[in-house]
Amino acid sequence: MGKSILYYTPDSPPCQAVILVIKQLKLEVTFKKVDLDNKEHLTPEFLAINPLHQVPTFDDNGFYITDSHAIIQYLTTGSKLTSPDPHILARINQIMYFDFELFRVIGEICIPLYYGQINEPSQKALAVLFEKLHALEQFLKNRVWAAGEFLTGADFSLFATFSAIYNCPIDLSKFETTMKWFEKCKKTFVGYPNIKEDSKNALGNFLKLKGIKLEFKSQV
Ligand SMILES: N[C@@H](CCC(=O)N[C@@H](CS)C(=O)NCC(=O)O)C(=O)O
């Protein structure tokens, strides 16, 4: 890989997923912080490389990639974190797309609360979240890692999103297999100690401060 740069924000789960992969594969990458509060992602320079104004954005010597999942697939190509086997690749893709949706749902729950548009979490969105968490529990019951028998990029994406969920006031005690996988990831990811504090994501902290629980009342 040539001279490459990762544009990132420390408490962003998709950025953390990419950082964890970079550390695991010991890749030489320059990290550039983008301050979203100061709207650095909306500058003409940043919009020129990512019109979606999002981090993570990866620059591999002038080849720009957006979306953490696409970046991870790119970085892991040819490494021990992926495989040319079509079945394994299909499973990796399946979990990557699943993770994309999981992150979207947790955003759908937390963002309107954060901006004060609502005071209670949406029960409709919580139902979707818990359905996905139940599905994840089922997926992981039959696998050693997220995509099957060995550690892949999919574990890193899912781990970062699950960390954000875990840091919210939410009862995850019934997702035992998922919790075991989560603990196993913490022990296996060489970059985990560095992002541990950052993964106490702003949204989860905000909900705790406000005393808002992500509780699904199945009677509603
Ligand atoms: N699907 C994208 C989501 C990226 C994303 O939502 N990034 C947020 C930070 S967590 C962002 O850059 N937000 C600023 C914006 O959308 O303007 C990925 O996986 O990379």
In tens, the pLDDT along 147-195 reads 999 999 999 999 999 999 999 999 999 999 999 999 999 999 999 998 8
Residue 141: inside a domain, yes or no? yes
What one-character-per-residue DSSP string does 151-199 give? --HHHHHHHHHHHHHHTSS---TT-HHHHHHHHHHHHH-TTHHHHTTTT
Best mutation site among 21, 55, 73 for ligand 1 pocket (most ligand atoms within 8 Å of CB):
55
Between strands 57-60 and 63-66, the pairing is: antiparallel
- pTM (two decimals): 0.96
4 by DSSP, 3-state: which? strand
Residue 191, number of CB atoms within 10 A of its CB? 16
Give the end of a domain, one of 23, 54, 76.
76
Residue nearest (by alpha carbon) to ligand 1 atom 15: 54
| pLDDT interval class at 42 (50, 70, 90) | very high
Q: Please give the number of the atom of ligand 1 that sits closest to the Cα of 17.
A: 19
Ligand 1 within 6 A of CB of 16:
no
Q: What is the pLDDT of residues 88-136, one digit of tens each?
A: 999 999 999 999 999 999 999 999 998 999 999 999 999 999 999 999 9
How many domains does the chain contain in total? 2
* One domain for residues 101 and 167: yes
* One domain for residues 92 and 32: no
Ligand 1 within 6 A of CB of 69:
yes
Residue nearest (by alpha carbon) to ligand 1 atom 5: 54
Alpha-helical segments (H) within 40-152? 44-49, 68-76, 86-114, 123-141
* One domain for residues 28 and 131: no
* pLDDT surpassing 90 at residue 30: yes
| pLDDT interval class at 220 (50, 70, 90) | very low
* Å from CA of 33 to ligand 1 middle: 14
Sign of CA dihedral 72, 156, 135, 128: negative
* One domain for residues 126 and 205: yes
Cα separation of 146 and 134, whole Å?
14
Q: What is the pLDDT of residue 161?
A: 97
